[in-house]
Amino acid sequence: MGSLFRGEHHYSLDDKGRVVLPRKFRRALGDTVVVTRGLDECVAVYAPAEWAKNEKKLRALTVNRRDFVRFMLSSAEDVELDRQGRVSIPQHLREYAKIDRDAVVVGVGSRLEIWGLENWKRYIAKIQAEAPGLASELRDLSI
């Protein structure tokens, strides 16, 4: 596996639908990224090599998984970062993820996720409420 992304960073989209990616993430991603729908109403951002591994797995799925394959592949686009380290989020992905102006860029292991701020706050509140129950299932985690 390549770089491990982690952390939470708050930004505002500019008028062209671009958001800055943190410098430490840009170094690991390179000049071009793949953006697509995430599973939780967010935009997933992958380095091309990481996305290629996922695409290969998606294409190997059986025909009865075609809805999921279509969901992921139909929205995937290659996007070049500009000189300021911004990624342009296509309009259909901004609508899907409900990203209006304020965005949160989150590192989650092998990918980044870009969330609309309000969606992110709702998601975190939900997980926070579930955390004690989840923690009891994860006894081996030292937290």
Tell me the residue type at 96: Y
Q: Which CATH class is domain 5-137?
A: alpha beta
Mean pLDDT of the region 22-47: 92
Domain boundaries of the chain, sorted by first residue? 5-137
pTM of the model: 0.86
Give the per-residue pLDDT at 1.
Answer: 44
Q: Tens digit of pLDDT for each residue in 73-90?
A: 888 999 999 999 999 999
Q: Tens digit of pLDDT for each residue in 107-136?
A: 999 999 999 999 999 999 998 888 777 767
DSSP-derived secondary structure for the chain: --PPEEEEEEEE--TTSEEEPPHHHHHHH-SEEEEEE-TTSSEEEE-HHHHHHHHHHHHTS-GGGHHHHHHHHTT-EEEE--TTSEEEPPHHHHHHTT-SSEEEEEEEETEEEEEEHHHHHHHHHHHHHHHHHHHHH-TTS--
